[in-house]
Copies of this chain bind each other. A is one copy, B any other.
Amino acid sequence: MTEPRWLDAQEMRAWRGLIGTNRLLFEQINRELSRRSGLSAADYEVLVQLSETPERRLRMSDLAAQSLSSKSRLSHQVSRLERLGWVRREECPTDRRGAFAALTDEGLAVLEEAAKGHVEDVRRHLFDRLSPEQIHALGEITATLNSYLETVVERD
């Protein structure tokens, strides 16, 4: 049980910075999203994933994976979205255990309405503050981390 390699100043700055951005940026963007459209960040993410599919529906598992959610959370969440009339559950003919979540016309309308303001918020709070080089670097850094993390994370 040897002494760990503590973080140096540079690393500490990046780590605390990331924690801060993580909280402040998403908190603010999500607050604005939800005020304007009544959609939580999680809801928005789910609706986007569904809308980007040709059939406007996805199997629950795939949807969970793509929206980085746990199965349980997604299940509760889809129930809520169903109550609101924005998503509909459909059964899967080829695998009777399976279920689809399908975006309704209403859901799509809500999403499209929310998207405009949301993009502007993201732009205002994130991209307007960074140089093109920084935006590029951020893309590289997160891509590197995420492809590693996907091999590591234990989900569910």
- Which of A's residues lie within 8 Å of B, judged by CB? 3-7, 10-11, 13-15, 17-28, 31, 45, 68, 115-117, 119-120, 122-123, 125-127, 129-130, 132, 134-146, 148-150, 152-154
Contact = CB atoms under 8 A, between A and B. Distances in A.
Instruction: Report copies per complex.
Output: 2
A22 B141 CA distance: 12
A27 B22 CA distance: 12
A20 B142 contact: yes
Determine the main DSSP class of A at the interface with B. helix
Contacts of A7: 119, 122-123, 127
Given A11-B135, A13-B139, A130-B141, A119 B4 contact: yes
